[in-house]
Amino acid sequence: MLSRKQKLSLASASIGAGLVLSLNSNVIPLLLDPLAKSAFNTFSDFFIGIVIGITLFLGIIIPPVIGTISDNTWTRFGRRILYMIIFVPLTVVMLLIISIVGSHLAINMSALNTFILFAFCITLLYMFLNMWNSTYSALLPDLTEPAERGETSGYMQAFNILGTILAFAAAAAVWETSHTLTFVIFAIVITISSFITILTIEEKKSVKPREKERLISIVKDFVKEKDFVKFMITSMFWWFAIGTLQPFFVLFAKNTLGLPESSALVFMGIFTVILVVCAIPAGIFADKIGKKRILSIGVLIAAIGLSIGAFTSEIILIYIAMGLAGLGFGVIIVLNFALTADLLPKGKEGKFMGLGNIFYAAPQMTAAPLVGFLISTFNNNYQIIFYVTPISLIIGFILLQRVRITS
């Protein structure tokens, strides 16, 4: 069993991971929006969705491979931390390069070429993130017992959301003044939070796998774990909803509600604050009452909240809608992670956490370009997100009732 101090140290790196993952819902759409409108006119949102979809596609192909490799990695640093030592600094470097591209290198380039250059840099950023974040996620089942995973997952997800809040806060404060300073702040936060985990967490190195697993065994092992498969398929529907909401809500606030960019970021930041407030209580409460029961309630609350946005553009009602959505998604994110850890087969945590990332990334990868296309097709009607998200969540709720979960 981990002490509370150890749980918090383990969770620290989630701040940096959450910050980078949140960029698809705050500064990346704002960075690409004027370039896409200049280069692609009517279908600007579709091409923004394509870029975000590519970053999420990396979350499909990288985690299972690097997770399996890390299962078979044994060094004096452990088997997961090694990848953080290598790829966290590269993630930080890419953030700084993006800031340089935006402030200096792209000044004399066409909108199309600048858009392509940014897309390439953003792709590398998320490639490096996935190389360390997927192995970092495997530390939860590695180092914790089932009885403490709800609480530990709550800390990790709360810190992950805290990273998102820091991203929104920094962007809201300095984005319109200096894009470069925004990315420098991001780089500092990621470095500090990740190296707290790297320097304070000691991996268990006493038990080694009997033999190295081959990558070809991924599919074979996966189909044997029926409950894991059912839960992963079910989870795709709430990740699709999140993948619909995150890239386009800030553009909805800017282009439909008429808010300035800084105010749009604050709006989404409040949604994120509610997420973090709910994260730890949801994990602790679910350990006592039942994760499936609490998760079901969270899915329904998010669906009800987002349904409100389909019928109004009044700012106060949108605040209420996003408040309920924040409450629901706070529960969903924490318990999705905890239940995934519960259903993992022993000794193959890295591989299966990587497989879990496929079902996390694939629906979001699909949602971004698909919903971007719908928004562009219907005359830049960003309110479409409030029709798509509750439908997806209700489907997920129905499927969840058919999944056998004992914890």
Average pLDDT of the chain is 84
383 secondary structure, DSSP code = G
- Which domains, from first to last, does the chain contain? 9-201+215-400 (1.20.1250.20)
Closest CA to 333 of 202, 159, 215: 159
The CA distance from 242 to 361, in Å, is: 10
The CA distance from 286 to 292, in Å, is: 8
Judged on CB neighbours under 10 Å (0-12, 13-18, 19+), 93 is: middle
Task: Please tell me which residue, 220 or 396, carries the higher pLDDT value.
Answer: 396
Q: Residue 362 pLDDT more than 50? A: yes
Residues 6+ apart with CB under 8 A from 240: 363, 364, 366, 367, 392
DSSP secondary structure letters along 207-224: ---SSPPPTTHHHHHHHH
Closest CA to 158 of 204, 117, 193: 193
Q: Please, which pLDDT band fits residue 207 given cuts at 50, 70 and 90? A: very low
Residues 6+ apart with CB under 8 A from 214: none
For the entire predicted model, the pTM comes to 0.71
Q: What would the pLDDT profile of 46-94 be if each residue is shown by its tens digit?
A: 899 899 889 888 878 888 788 878 877 777 777 888 999 999 999 999 9
Judged on CB neighbours under 10 Å (0-12, 13-18, 19+), 313 is: middle
The CA distance from 367 to 328, in Å, is: 19
Closest CA to 46 of 320, 377, 301: 377
What's the pLDDT at 103? 64
pLDDT over 70 percentage in the chain: 89
